[in-house]
Amino acid sequence: MPVIYQGHCSSCDYESPTISDGHCGAVIAHDPSKISEYAVHPTDNRIVVLMHPLEQSIIEDHGYTYASATFQGRYLTIKDYFCKSCGHVYETRRLSSANLVFGCLPPLLVAIVVGATIGYIRSSFVDGFFGGMFATFVAWFVIDWLVGIGIRIRYADRNREFRIARVCPRCGSRRAATGGRLPCPQCKQNSMKVKAVGMS
């Protein structure tokens, strides 16, 4: 479960917006007028936010599956950061691949082949088992990474329209954080402490 962070300044009592340390999924809607009020993005009414733990029901309520949203170039990953230079909270996003868009079968097949090969070569069931497990996670990562690149190439115009780079819009810094002691965006003192305030 993602951890929720918030900054509090000891000098001026400023409290930052809360952010999560995980990525949030979202979908670009075909018809923004049909987005449920509870799921609309706060700054772009064309985006359906898949809020944890209701992601599956939200995406289905709006007529998508993870696979259909991904392959139509409509699935976004969103992540918030604190700027290390000025303490401002900002959002990043880009077209991406939903996790396990092809399901579990391809990574599991890789795990079986790699695990059996390692187990046979080393004459060890344990080595084969852990080698197969490691191969599963690598396969999941590589498949999602390659699909994400392909989607961003195929839907390059949409990616440019919705992408927000990891650059602070207030000061232009590329240094980002999700916790620690940071400058306060209100009083500019280095007195805003960011700490965990909950789980989502």
Q: Does 12 have pLDDT greater than 90? A: yes
- Cα(58)–Cα(64) distance, integer angstroms: 9
Q: How confident is the model at residue 138 (pLDDT cuts 50, 70, 90)?
A: confident
Q: Is 100's pLDDT higher than 70?
A: no
What pLDDT is recorded for position 170?
Answer: 93
CA-angle at 81, arms to 79 and 87, nearest 5°: 160
Token couple for 110: 């890789």
Q: Average pLDDT for residues 164-184, to the nearest whole number?
A: 91
Q: Would you list the domain boundaries of the chain?
A: 22-101+156-177
Q: Is the pLDDT of residue 8 over 70?
A: yes
- Rounded-to-integer distance, Cα 62 and Cα 85, Å: 38
Q: What are the distances in angstroms from CA 106 to CA 33, 67, 144, 146, 164?
A: 37, 15, 12, 14, 31
The pLDDT, as a whole number, for residue 48 is 92
Q: What percent of the chain has pLDDT over 90?
A: 50
**Token output for 61:** 């309520």
CA dihedral 124, 128, 129, 133 (to 10 degrees): 160
Q: Fill in the amino acid letter for 65.
A: T
Q: What is the DSSP letter of 178?
A: S
Q: pTM higher than 0.85 for the full model?
A: no
Contacts of 40 (CB under 8 A, 6+ apart): 47, 48, 49
Q: Would you state the torsion angle of the CA atoms of residues 50, 55, 61, 62, taken in this order, to the nearest 10 degrees? A: 30
pLDDT tens digits, residue range 41-89? 988 999 999 987 788 888 988 889 998 999 999 999 999 999 999 999 9
